[in-house]
């Protein structure tokens, strides 16, 4: 896995060649969790690699990237994505950029700060501010369970998926989902950033064609926050799915159809 030095971080990233030989880059940016890109995008790589060469940054807070352990900022993580894009593209070349959850805020910041690098932008299940009572209450409750890994994981799953989806799976699968998010240092650094995030001033600077995907049953990021992202980006398209937070798990066909059509 290649890496690049960005300020105090040694940022790792992965490149997945396109199955069709397409050279156009699609950069996929993960959300909260030390598992990083593989945790969020692992089951979707074959689909996206059909039409793009994929670039998957592992941002500060993930297990693959090392840094000084300082509190994170959206601008810090955006600069890491920008550095990876510049390392993997020729001068004047643009990329398509997709981010999920916290990653959706990061890609919006990238598009605002470096519009010359971005052809198309997709922000999924994301938010531009965290000073929302429901969001703060849910995420702070989740954060407060960091000393109990089992309950921390259970709370993560409760926020990530709709009750209908959780009720449709068997006990072993639910146990596996509950164990998927652990309260390690990197995950807790991401959660700390989630609780402080505010990129509203950057949204009007985004000029790339943009798709914002919201989830009507999102228990982690209230859907009104995702709608605000679309409202803040001039000319953006907005689609709302009947899903909990993890869009690709609950509505995979519809989510992939919307994103693929937009990128095409």
Q: Which residues are identified as catalytic?
A: 101, 218, 245
**72 Cβ contact partners less than 8 Å away, ≥ 6 residues apart:** 60, 61, 189, 190, 192, 193
Give the CA dihedral 242, 98, 71, 195, nearest 10 degrees.
-20
Let me know: does 38 contact 59? Beta carbons within 8 Å. no
**138 Cβ contact partners less than 8 Å away, ≥ 6 residues apart:** 159, 219, 220
How crowded is residue 43: how many other Cβ atoms within 10 Å of its Cβ? Answer: 11
Q: How many CA atoms lie within 13 A of 70 on its CB side?
A: 10
| Run of H or E residues at 124 | strand 118-124
């Amino acid at each position: 896995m290649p890496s690049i030095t960005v300020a105090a971080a040694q940022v790792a990233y992965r490149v997945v060649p396109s199955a069709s030989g397409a050279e156009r880059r699609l950069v996929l940016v993960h959300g909260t969790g030390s598992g990083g890109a593989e945790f969020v995008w692992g089951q979707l790589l074959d689909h996206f690699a059909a039409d793009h060469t994929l670039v998957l940054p592992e941002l500060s807070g993930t297990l693959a990237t090392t840094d000084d352990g300082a509190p994170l900022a959206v601008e810090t993580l955006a600069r890491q994505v920008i550095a990876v894009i510049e390392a993997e593209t020729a001068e004047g070349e643009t990329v398509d950029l997709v981010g999920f959850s916290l990653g959706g805020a990061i890609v919006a910041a990238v598009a605002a700060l470096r519009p010359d690098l971005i052809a198309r932008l997709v922000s999924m299940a994301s938010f531009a501010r965290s000073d929302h009572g429901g969001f703060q209450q849910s995420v702070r409750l989740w954060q407060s369970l960091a000393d109990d890994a089992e309950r921390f994981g259970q709370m993560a799953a409760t926020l990530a998926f709709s009750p209908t989806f959780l009720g449709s799976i068997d006990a072993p699968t639910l146990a596996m989902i509950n164990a998927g998010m652990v309260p390690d240092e990197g995950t807790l650094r991401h959660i700390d950033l989630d609780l402080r995030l505010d990129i509203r001033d950057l949204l009007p600077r985004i000029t790339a064609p943009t798709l914002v995907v919201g989830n009507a049953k999102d228990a982690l990021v209230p859907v009104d926050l995702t709608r605000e992202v679309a409202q803040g980006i001039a000319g953006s398209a907005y689609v709302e799915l009947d899903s909990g937070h993890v869009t690709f798990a609950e509505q995979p066909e519809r989510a992939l159809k919307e994103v693929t059509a937009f990128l095409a």
